[in-house]
Amino acid sequence: MTHNNSQVLVEVCVDSVASAVAAERGGAARLELCASLIQGGITPSAGLIEMVRAVVSVALHVMIRPRGGDFCYEADEFETMRRDIALAKRLGANGVVFGILDVHGNVDIARTRQLSNEARPLAVTFHRAFDMTADLFRALEDLCNAGVDRVLTSGGESTCLQGQETIAQLVRKAQRRTVIMPGGGIKPENARSFVDHTGVTEVHSGLRSAYPSPMLHRNPRISMGAAEGCEYQRFGVLEERVRKLCAAVANPD
């Protein structure tokens, strides 16, 4: 598939004020704001939403995910999501990002529709819980019927490069009823060829870079995270990487 429209929107996933500022300066048109990216992203705090909203002017979409793990939520977790959506709306978010499945790996249509309705007039993205469904194409129809604005997907694979053919099919099946936004492995080096092949109009990228902690005193005996030594490692978005990605999708080779 040839993609003739060079106006491809770039969304960058961020988990800090510094990364949000860097992404906007680099040319990102939209930010997805999360906490705990090591868990794949969960709902950010009210303080972080407020801080980011105060310093960036681009569209800000807030992750609504009460915990890591699966996407089948108990009643109290669903109520937490409802309240977090209301909070994100009050704090100036432009959109919310969530995903809910049932025990069989289908989209929970009723609760997806309820959250979507309560989120309006904010934009609604169904995140990569989509990739965990039993049937991607049935899930796509369910989400179109539930009225979500976009679906974030890697095509049911570990990266969207591996899922490239499926994503191209999803774009065709969606028929502009909802936006198919690829995420998972999009980089400046591969973005343009991916866009040309699939026909997507938006891309999502983390673009995280590691950099060392400024801590001078270190205790090598204790690790408080999943990876040893992670207390002395930071991750963030670098402005130049975002700029390279935006340039790549804007300019055919």
Strands 208-212 and 233-237: antiparallel
* Residue 169, CA distances (Å) to 125, 136, 188, 199 in order: 19, 10, 23, 10
Give every CB contact of residue 112 below 8 A, 6+ residues apart in sequence: 98, 100, 126, 142, 143, 146, 148
Class of domain 9-250: alpha beta
pTM: predicted TM-score of the whole model, two decimal places: 0.92
Q: Rounded distance, CA 11 to CA 206, Å?
A: 9
3-state secondary structure of 91: coil
Domain definitions of the chain by residue range: 9-250
- Kindly state the tokens that stand for 68: 């890591």
Average pLDDT for 127-143: 96
Digit-coded pLDDT (tens) for 87-119: 999 999 999 999 999 999 999 999 999 999 999
One-character DSSP codes across 214-242: --SS--TT---SSSTTGGGEEEEE-HHHH
